Amino acid sequence: MQKKNSLLIFVLFFILFGVLETTAQKKSKEESNTDLKVSPKLVVGIVVDQMRYDYLTRFWDQYGNNGFKRLVNEGYNCKNNHFNYAPTSTGPGHSSIYTGTTPATHGIIGNNWYDKQLDKEVYCASDETFNSVGTTSDAGKMSPHRMNVTTITDELRLHTQMRSKTIAIALKDRGAVLPGGHTANAAYWFEGGDRGNWITSTFYMTQLPKWVLDYNKADHFSKYKKAWNSAKDINSYAESGIDENLYEGLSEGETTSVFPHDLEKNWDTNGKYDGLRATPYGNSLTADFAIEALEKELLGGDEITDFLAVSFSSTDYVGHKYGVNSKEVEDTYIRLDADLERFFKALDRKVGKGEYTVFLTADHGAIDVPAYLKDQKIPAGYFDSKAMQERFNEFLKYSFGTADVVKNFSNYQFFLDHKIVKNLDMDLAKAQEIIATELLTYDSIDRVYTGQQMWNNNYVSGIPYILQNGYNQKRSGDIFIVLRPGFISYHNTGSTHGSPQIYDTHVPLLFYGKGIKQGSTVARTEIPDIAPTLASLLGIAFPNGTTGKPIVEVLE
């Protein structure tokens, strides 16, 4: 009897041990899978064009609870996030966000740049080998062919054997084409004019999908043909300057830049539907179309992760026209906050709360209007390239016998004619140095660097580090100028960007949703860190030019 009991106890112990071992292995496997990757049904990339970091904090009390505040309070806030290259403009910005690298590698060195091989200026997204879809104009002749590397959207498509879907949307063509990468199912951008349409390129498709054709025909845009007044009592807009001032640009037909802006009255003189770009309504119609794409393309509708890239471009147009400190900028962000809220609600409804992952950042920052800064006794001013041209040409003629030694000036870069330099039996590095030394004597110019310095040195901090990350050996110029802090090459009203200065590099970076921790950091993060962070989250390959690193603190 005792032997039987012992045998029974042994058998029960063996069974129990087996059950515990199986459970432990299953739990270990589940934990391992959790650590290995996170699989949201949808990743949503949001780029707010020309958004400074302090727009989060300045306008915080004006925001509702379910737009920007939802991302900050429930997600992860990288407070010290920067572009680590210049020029800080839209094309390079969107490319760097999605490729995980800088212009030195991805090759998009500006919105436009002088092509040394073609001997002409080129546009970052233009491609004459493809045709427009959805319009008879040339506005659709675009592709990402000038971008040398893959994007996070490309890598997701490759990882899933092209079963995942990527849709990219923006008012600006470059704001859709570059984030969509080389493998996007579709990229759509807005053509204004008489009617207003979402269009694309034959790079993606030969005709618009039925849902886009129906959307364009339904004329969802005419509801925004109305006066632009402040969304709230304008007296509550305490975080911006007075409404009537000398620092803001005017739309055609306006004599003052104060609210309300009568869009209908000046409709024809401001490009009709194109005029919506420089109003918050451009962001609203972008959100409308993104929500429609979410539904009609069934994004996030199964277990294979999809990607929706959305760029809100009107913030840039408004900033350029009215300036950082304007009531118009404050109102635009209040209205964008409301658009984000309804976009997030659509994501909750269509994909499911907790089933998607979002990041929000900007493609560059912006400077306060220098004329305003000067009136506040802050050092600031304007670089007048025309005024310096006569003196500079005389210097070139004296030093080289001809002013034609400089072929082009763009993106704060001088491109030299290497043939002329060679014919003068002069070393290129020496020619660069002679011109750089002269340029440093001009009052508005703070620093000058040469291509030779970019080739020979490895900068790890400061302005030269930022310039070097923007320097592409095949595409960039020979001499780089950096204007004094507070100085810009622009007209006297409105704000601009493009410099390596901190007001152009410091932008928000917010993560939210599945696989994302709640919290914040003041440790420095950089724009190329976004793509590898997402790749680590998803368990996919990094974009093939990645130089950034995953932000470990963000991930659960």
User: What is the C-alpha separation between 396 and 405, in angstroms, rounded?
Assistant: 7
When divided into structural domains, the chain yields a total of 2
| 307 and 404 inside one domain | no
Whether residues 455 and 522 share a domain: the answer is no
CA–CA gap between residue 273 and residue 191 (Å, rounded): 8
Task: Provide the pLDDT for residue 6.
Answer: 52
Between 37-46, 266-275, 311-320, the lowest mean confidence (pLDDT) is in 266-275
**Is the pLDDT assigned to residue 9 strictly greater than 90?**
no
The pLDDT value given to residue 260: 95
The domain spanning residue 397 has which CATH number?
3.30.1360.150
Residue 17 has pLDDT above 50, yes or no: no
> Containing domain of residue 449, as a range?
384-443+445-483
Within a domain: 516:
yes
Instruction: Tell me: do 310 and 393 sit in the same domain.
Output: no
In a domain, 324, yes or no: yes
Q: Is the pLDDT of residue 26 over 70?
A: no
Closest-CA residue to 199 (of 226, 177, 223, 178): 177
For residues 214 and 306, state if they share a domain. yes
Model pLDDT, residue 12: 44
Q: Check whether residue 217 and residue 299 sit in a common domain.
A: yes
Q: Region 20-49: what's the mean pLDDT? A: 70
pLDDT of residue 195: 84
The reported pLDDT for the residue numbered 360 is 99
Q: In what order do the strands lie in the sheet with 356-361?
A: 132-133, 197-201, 186-191, 166-170, 306-312, 42-48, 356-361, 509-513, 76-82, 519-526
Tell me the average pLDDT across 530-550: 98
Q: Say whether pLDDT at 7 is over 70.
A: no
Same domain for 515 and 433? no
The string of pLDDT tens digits covering residues 52-66 is: 999 999 999 999 999
Higher pLDDT, 1 or 421: 421
Least confident among 17-26, 195-204, 240-249 = 17-26
In a domain, 245, yes or no: yes
Residues 208 and 311 occupy one common structural domain: yes
CATH number (domain holding residue 92): 3.40.720.10
| pLDDT score of 556 | 82
CB atoms within 10 A of CB 418: 14
The dihedral over CA atoms of 21, 23, 27, 29, expressed in degrees to the nearest 10, equals: 60
- Report yes or no: 504 and 50 within 8 Å, Cβ to Cβ: no
- Whether 30 is in a domain gets the answer no
Domain membership of residue 2 (yes or no) is no
Active-site residue among 88, 90, 505, 533?
A: 90
Residue 408 shares a structural domain with residue 513: no
Q: How far is CA 259 from the centre of its chain?
A: 29
Q: Where are the beta strands (DSSP E) in 390-538?
A: 406-410, 413-416, 445-450, 479-483, 487-488, 509-513, 519-526
Contact 517, 73 (CB under 8 A): no
Q: Quick one: pLDDT at residue 386?
A: 85
Section 221-239 average pLDDT: 96
Do 516 and 462 share a structural domain?
Answer: no
234 and 117 both lie in a single domain: yes
Q: What is the pLDDT of residue 219?
A: 85
Q: Going by DSSP bridges, is the β-strand pair 406-410/413-416 parallel, antiparallel, or unpaired?
A: antiparallel
What's the whole-model pTM score? 0.93
How do residues 75-110 score in pLDDT, each as one tens digit? 999 999 999 999 999 999 999 999 999 999 999 999
pLDDT value, residue 28: 44
Place of tokens 């690193």: 549
Question: Is there a single domain that holds both residue 346 and residue 467?
Answer: no
Alpha-carbon span 92 to 80, nearest angstrom: 20
How confident is the model over 524-529, as a mean pLDDT?
Answer: 98
Given this model, what pLDDT does residue 385 score? 85
Write phi, then psi, for 277 (nearest 5 degrees): -60, -40
pLDDT (mean) for 118-136: 97
pLDDT at 233: 97
Chain mean pLDDT for the chain: 94
* 315 classed as catalytic: no
pLDDT digits (tens, 9 = 90+) for 369-383: 999 999 999 999 999
Q: Is residue 27 one of the residues assigned to a domain? A: no
In a domain, 217, yes or no: yes
Q: What is the pLDDT of residue 14?
A: 45
**pLDDT grade for 363, boundaries at 50, 70 and 90:** very high
Is the domain of 356 the same as that of 212?
Answer: yes
Q: E strands within 56-165?
A: 76-82, 112-115, 120-123, 132-133
Whether the predicted pLDDT of 3 surpasses 80 = no
Q: Would residue 251 count as lying in a domain?
A: yes
